[in-house]
Amino acid sequence: MDDMYQENILDHARNQRHWGLLAEYTHHAHDENPLCGDELEITFTVDENDIITAIGWGGEGCAISQAAASMLGEEMLGKPLADAQALEKDTVLDLIGIKLSMNRVKCALLSVKVFKAAAYGVPDEDS
């Protein structure tokens, strides 16, 4: 079973879904993990019904951080903004599907941190 999840991680790391920041968006956040150098920026658009209609992201980092951002983008597209605000770490860890070391957990959780910051409209360093 772990092999299937590892292959999924590699697929998302190599073929990122929703890669590229949106030119026009309603929500944005950026953050990085200074300990490992992973960096993530997320943009998304919410319509008049508070549904996430478009997602774009960019950044650099290890396969886990890139795959987590890709997987989370796929998971959140079409969902209500309230779902993004209620994201929990288990959401992305379940998407990853394999046990990660503590260092790698931080890589995966960067996507949750940045997505929630964007969902709540938390100002980032670029603002």
Count CB neighbours of 90 within 10 A: 9
Distance CA 100, CA 46 (A): 32
Predicted local confidence at residue 1, as pLDDT: 45
- pLDDT tens, the chain, 127 aa long: 455 446 656 565 666 667 789 999 999 999 988 777 889 999 999 999 999 999 999 998 887 888 889 889 988 999 999 999 999 888 887 877 767 667 777 778 889 999 999 999 865 554 4
Report residue 80 as tokens: 């209500």
Predicted local confidence at residue 27, as pLDDT: 94
Predicted local confidence at residue 9, as pLDDT: 61
Q: What is the CATH number of domain 2-120?
A: 3.90.1010.10
The type of residue at 100 is L
